[in-house]
């Protein structure tokens, strides 16, 4: 790979980089600049230095949002990956094994198709859907059943300590199918002989899972963790559409994206909103850097 390398490299990189810089990097750079002003979105901005950042420190809503990202960052990947791993193991290895040929449980194909459904739907649509599912009275999908049995309705989105988890459940609902497919693919690429050998040694399904599947799936798990971590930093559409009063009650479900949106498009405080955006950016960057560091390792060869 020697001849004419640079013209080729430049030729291939020019269009993507130009497009990317124009529509992504340049607007973001401007956003950093705006975060140092008191721009209200309309007239010329005035430079205020780090004032907006100083104000962030006293902003209760901001800290609530940061805290929620912390919860989501831990809970979303953990729950989603645990459920998805369990299902994909069942679907791929859970069934009878005949002559070392691993088989999924009966109907595995059907489940894999069905579980993936939510993934093809837009988040905005899912949020509208779950508004109905969670409705706090007899017209809700869940509470309708509960109240038929004479039980008290569950106030999913209203109880401050339940609301965030209700939203998290929707995120998990949507994500599981994708990761089932992802992990299934990973499991399918684990050579059958390994299972065969293990089963000859008398390993139970549980042992198989913990000693064979899990370690060999480590790479895929990390990919999953990165995706879900990034998803945990967004959550705007779901919170904006699903939660009570845009991140409520009283900020119990708010996320940074929601606060940025509120400050920018409701209060017209573009400068302050941008400062929040910059803070969010550094949080995500820290997460990405940590993850990249942790994933930078040799892969298992088999």
Residues 155-184 that bind other proteins (CB under 8 A): 155-158, 160, 173, 176-177, 181-182, 184
Residues of this chain, 92-121, that bind other proteins according to CB under 8 A: 94-97, 105-107, 110-121
Q: Is the dihedral of CA 188, 205, 197, 109 positive or negative?
A: negative
H helix runs in 134-244, sequence order? 141-148, 160-188, 192-200, 205-207, 214-216, 218-234, 236-242
Q: 53, 75, 100, 135: which one contacts other proteins (CB under 8 A)? A: 135
- Least gap, CB of 149 to other proteins (angstroms): 12
Residues of this chain, 46-75, that bind other proteins according to CB under 8 A: none
Q: 22, 47, 50, 67: which one contacts other proteins (CB under 8 A)? A: 22
Is residue 261 involved in binding other proteins (CB under 8 A)? yes
Q: Closer CB to other proteins, residue 50 or residue 218?
A: 218
Q: Closer CB to other proteins, residue 16 or residue 49?
A: 16
Is residue 77 involved in binding other proteins (CB under 8 A)? no
Is residue 40 involved in binding other proteins (CB under 8 A)? yes
Count CA within 13 A, CB hemisphere, residue 161. 0
Is residue 228 involved in binding other proteins (CB under 8 A)? no
Give the distance from CA 75 to its chain's centroid. 10
Q: How many residues bind other proteins (CB under 8 A)?
A: 148
Is there a contact between 183 and 223 (Cβ–Cβ < 8 Å)?
A: no
Q: Is the dihedral of CA 205, 208, 210, 216 positive or negative?
A: negative
Is there a contact between 260 and 69 (Cβ–Cβ < 8 Å)?
A: no
């Amino acid at each position: 790979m020697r001849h004419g390398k640079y013209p080729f490299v430049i030729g291939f990189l020019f269009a993507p980089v130009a497009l990317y810089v124009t529509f992504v990097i340049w607007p973001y750079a401007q956003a950093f600049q705006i975060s140092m002003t008191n721009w209200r979105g309309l007239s010329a901005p005035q430079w205020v230095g780090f004032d907006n950042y100083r104000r962030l420190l006293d902003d209760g809503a901001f800290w609530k949002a940061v805290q929620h990202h912390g919860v989501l960052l831990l809970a979303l990947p953990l729950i989603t990956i645990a459920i998805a791993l369990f299902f994909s193991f069942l679907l791929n290895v859970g069934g009878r094994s005949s002559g070392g040929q691993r088989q999924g449980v009966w109907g595995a194909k059907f489940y894999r198709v069905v579980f993936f459904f939510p993934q093809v739907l837009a988040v905005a649509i899912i949020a509208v859907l779950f508004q109905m599912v969670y409705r706090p009275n007899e017209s809700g999908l869940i509470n309708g059943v509960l109240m038929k049995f004479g039980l008290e309705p569950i106030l999913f989105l209203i109880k401050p300590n339940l609301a965030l988890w209700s939203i998290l459940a929707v995120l998990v609902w949507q994500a599981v199918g994708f990761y089932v497919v992802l992990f299934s693919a990973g499991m399918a690429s684990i050579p059958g002989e390994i299972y065969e050998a293990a089963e000859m040694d008398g390993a139970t399904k549980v042992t198989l899972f913990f000693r064979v599947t899990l370690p060999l799936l480590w790479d895929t798990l990390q990919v999953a963790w990165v995706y879900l971590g990034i998803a945990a930093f967004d959550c705007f559409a779901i919170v904006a559409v699903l939660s009570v009063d845009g991140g409520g009650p009283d900020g119990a479900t708010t996320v940074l994206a929601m606060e940025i949106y509120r400050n920018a498009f409701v209060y017209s405080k573009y400068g302050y909103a941008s400062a929040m955006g910059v803070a969010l950016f550094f949080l995500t960057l820290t997460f990405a850097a940590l993850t990249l560091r942790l994933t930078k390792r040799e892969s298992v060869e088999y």
